[in-house]
Every structure is written in structure tokens, then in C-alpha cells.
Amino acid sequence: MKLKHFGVFLVGLAAVAAGLWMPMPAFAHGEKAQMAFLRMRSIHWYDISVSPTQVSVNDEVVVTGKFRPSAFWPGSLPEPVVSYLNIGVPGPVFVRMESEVNGVNMVNSTSFELGATYDFRVVIKARVPGRYHVHPVLHVEHAGPLVGPGIWVETSGNAADFKHEVTTLTGNVVDLEKFGFANVVSWHIIWFVLGLIWLVYWIFFKGRLFLPRYRRVADLGADADSMITRTDRNLAFAMLAITLVLIVFGFYRADSLYPNTIALQTGRIAVAPTPEPEKVVAVQLDHATYRIPGRSLTLNTTITNLSDGPLEISELATANVRFINDRVLDLQPLDSHDLVAPSGLNVTGGAIAPGETREIAITAADALWETHRLSRLIYDPDSRFAALLFFVDSDGERHVIEVSGPMIPTFES
């Protein structure tokens, strides 16, 4: 029986080791799995740029763009009161070197206002060769990661050549890729051996697995303490003493080796939003319908031009998908994965004259509604959408307005 139990233990240990040393690769970030109303009404990402897209190990990649927490943020999602800007990639294939929002260093968490606009910039350094989808990500406390549009970056070279050297405040130059690695491995081995001794004793030498002992404790009731022998208690006290000694030893050793340290910072920083330009257009959404057979969203709007020049609608963006009015803007997808419908936006009536108020129908039609599961909005308990409308004036300057409302499905062909 003892050999049988030991065999079960070895099989379990091998399974754990296999899981640690042979992880399965991740190919996607699962952003399509989020409910449509969450993607449409959480973070609007736009003007995302990743450059360059062909790099070698140790080269830097700059990710820039803008984001706007929706003014129509869903009540079921915690607001971005505690948020952290990051980059989403499949594993530690890049190292983040710099990050800022509106010029403020994003080492710490911050909060963002709903309906406000923010500019961001993140610099990452290529670490592992391969082809990776790079996304900006905003982590929101209790809500999780809100992923922006991704752009493919291809890294060449040899991972062994990667270096991440920094100069500490005391003037020492260290390579963070290797710094402290031996120390980490040593402590893992120590704690693993202690845990292994404890498990081997109870599983192999005691001759009983956990569930049989649990059933015996239930059977004995108040007399269950009789199962614990003097040897069991001596081993437990010895393990406790060894653990405490190792903790104290580790503390004093680290304190002597690294006398100058700074605690991890948990404070939040304040970031002022980008100043809003003068409002040049007013948009009233009368109603919105989604035509299921045609995979198209039509917004019936009343628009007033408050500026002294003509305005045209160039783009509608929602949930990282961009529908382009090709009569105003010539924009093609970067690749087959770029979420751009280059002729997906149709606007009735053309330019809006200065001071004019007009009823305009805006139709965004493309297969992206289905492939990115946005049409699932009509089945959500909160079938309200939100989107950014982009207007362009005669000087080419762009003006952004957010619209929102319930999306009513129609089955008319």
C-alpha cells in the first residue's frame, strides 16, 4: 500500500512539473469574449500607433494614441477610479521602459474622468523573437483589463542577446534580466525541499492519503487527536523552527546585502485630462436601429453646426472598430487583422453648412459587426451602445463627439 501511495504522489508531482515547464502558448487576448455593451461603453481607443513594427531584440517600440472613458459608462462595470496603463502582449516578450499619460509618468495607478480625453505614450523594448499582437490596455480595479486595438509587431534576433541594464540611485549598473536570479532560484529550491519533506512524510511514511485520514478524523470525532503521534508533533515543531529561522536569516542577510532600498510605491498620482476644445457641433441621437440581415447600424440624428465653416462626418468608432466614410477620408487597414472598414460608413446629405441644423442618417455597415460579436448587443440585458463620431472641418481639423442610446434590432431585409 505504501508503494502504491508513493507512486500516486510521483505521478502528481510529474504532472505539476509538466505544467510548469511546458506551458501552452497564448495566441489571443480574448477581447471578443467580452460582452458588446462593455466594449462599446467602457474605453474608446483611437489614433493608436505602434512604431516600428519590424524590430530586433533590444530595439524599442513606441505605442501612442488617445483614449476616452465613455461618458455613458455601464453601471455594472466599476468606474476607472483606480486605473493603470499597460501593454497587452502574449507573455514577457517585451519590457516596458517608459509610460506616460498627458505627460505624467505612469509608474503608479491613477484615476480617469468619464467623458474626458487622454493622450498616452508607452515605450517597450523587444525581448523575445517572434510575431506578437501589441495592445494598449487599461487595467481598472475590480473590472479587469480593458483592451485596445492591436497591431502586429515582428521581432527578430536572438533572445540570449537581450540586456536590460539600469543605473541604480547608488551608481551601480545592473542587468535586470539576470539580477537576483540565482537568489530567487535558491530560495525556491529551499522552500520546495521543505514542502517535499512534509508531503513525503505524511503520504509515504504515514501510509495514508489525505482523504482516508479525513474520513478517519470524521469517524473518531473527539478522539481524532489520538491519530497525532509524538513523532508527528516533533516533525511539525522542527519544520516550524526551520521556517522561522530561514525567515529571520533571509531578512538580516537581505538587509546587510542591500542597505539602501526604497519600498514599493502604492500611492496614486493625479492626471489632468486633455483640455476640451470649443464645441463646434451638437448631435442629438433620435433613434438607432440595427438591421440584422444587412449587418448595419443606422443612427438617425439631428446635427447642428455651431462653427463658422462646413463640417462633414468622416468616421464612426466603437469597440475598437472603425467605420470610415470614404468620401471624406481615405483610410485602408494596415493588415487583415486591422479593425477598419474603409468604406463602411454612409452619411446622407454631405457637408453641414455653418449654423445649419439637419436630420442626418448615419449607417455603419460591415461584416465586422458579426466577426467581432458586436451584434450580440441586441441580446445583452443592457443593449445600449456608445460610439465616437468624427467630424472634419474645411481646414482638416477633427472634432470628436460621443453618442449613445438603445440599439433596436430590425429584421427587415
Distance (Å, whole) CA 105 – CA 122: 10
| Of residues 324, 319, 282, 316, the one with CA closest to residue 299 | 316
pLDDT over 70 (residue 207): no
Confidence (pLDDT) at 208: 61
How confident is the model over 211-231, as a mean pLDDT? 76
Angle ∠(153,158,163) on CA atoms, nearest 5: 90
C-alpha–C-alpha distance, residues 285 and 268, integer Å: 37
Residue 339: closest CA among 311, 310, 370, 294: 370
Average pLDDT over the chain reads 89
Hey, where are the domains in the chain? 34-166, 179-257, 281-410
Mean pLDDT in residue range 293-318: 94
Backbone angles phi, psi at 220, to 5 degrees: -75, -30
Kindly state the average pLDDT of the residues 2-22. Answer: 53
Contacts of 278 (CB under 8 A, 6+ apart): none
Cβ neighbour number for residue 330 with a 10 Å cutoff: 9
> Which pLDDT tens digit goes with each residue over 282-294?
999 999 999 988 8
- DSSP code, position 307: S
Domain 34-166 has CATH 2.60.120.570: yes
| Residue-level pLDDT at 202 | 82
Q: Which three cell numbers stand for residue 107?
A: 509608474
User: CA 82, 88, 94 angle in degrees (round to 5)?
Assistant: 120
- Residue 30: pLDDT band (50, 70, 90) is low
Provide, rounded to the nearest whole percent, the portion of the chain with pLDDT above 70: 91
What architecture (CATH level 2) is domain 281-410? Sandwich (2.60)
Residue 206 has pLDDT above 80, yes or no: no
pLDDT of residue 24: 45
User: How high is the pLDDT of residue 324?
Assistant: 97
Please list, in sequence order, all residues whose beta carbon lies within 8 angstroms of the beta carbon of residue 149, skipping any fewer than 6 positions away: 45, 48, 135, 136, 320, 338, 339
Paired strand residues for 105 = 100
Q: What is the pLDDT of residue 383?
A: 87
**8 A C-beta contact, residue 93 and residue 130:** yes
pLDDT band per the 50, 70, 90 thresholds, residue 27? very low
- Bridge partners of 131, per DSSP, are 154
Question: Is the predicted pLDDT of residue 13 greater than 60, yes or no?
Answer: no
Q: Are 140 and 78 in contact (CB under 8 A)?
A: yes
Q: Looking at the predicted structure, is the pLDDT value of residue 209 above 70?
A: no
Q: What is the pLDDT of residue 391?
A: 97
| Residue 97 pLDDT grade (very low, low, confident, very high; cuts 50, 70, 90) | very high
What would the mean pLDDT of 363-383 be, rounded to a whole number?
88
What is the Rg, in whole angstroms, of the alpha carbon atoms belonging to the chain?
Answer: 29
Instruction: Report whether pLDDT(210) > 80.
Output: no
Neighbours of 357 (CB within 10 A): 13
* E-assigned strand segments in 207-295: 281-291
